[in-house]
Amino acid sequence: MSVHATNEDFSLAASLVRDAGALALRMRSEGLTATAKTTVSDVVTAADHAAEKLVVERIRELRPDDGIVGEEGASVTGTSGRSWVIDPVDGTYNFFAGSTYWCSAIALKADEPESLDGDPDVLLGAIFQPQEDRLWLGGEGHPATLNGDPVPPLEDASLDRLSAGTYLHPTWLLRPEVAGPWTAAASRAATIRMLGSGSCDLGGVASGRLGAWFQHSCPEWDWLPGKAIVRAAGGSTAVVEVNGFRWHIAGRASAVREIEGALIRA
SS3 66: coil
42 is in an annotated binding site: no
Extended strands (E) in the chain: 34-36, 43-45, 67-70, 75-76, 82-90, 103-110, 122-129, 134-139, 142-146, 149-150, 163-166, 191-193, 212-216, 236-242, 245-251
Calpha distance 260→258 (Å, rounded): 5
DSSP 197: -
Calpha distance 157→168 (Å, rounded): 24
Residue type for position 155: E
SS3 30: helix
Quick count: other Cβ atoms within 10 Å of Cβ 24? 27
87 is in an annotated binding site: yes
Calpha distance 234→80 (Å, rounded): 28
List residues bridging with 119 in a β-sheet: none
**Which residue from 92, 84, 106 is spatially nearest to 16, judged by alpha carbons?**
106
Quick count: other Cβ atoms within 10 Å of Cβ 100? 15
Calpha distance 147→157 (Å, rounded): 25
Residues comprising the binding site for Mg(2+)?
71, 87, 90, 222
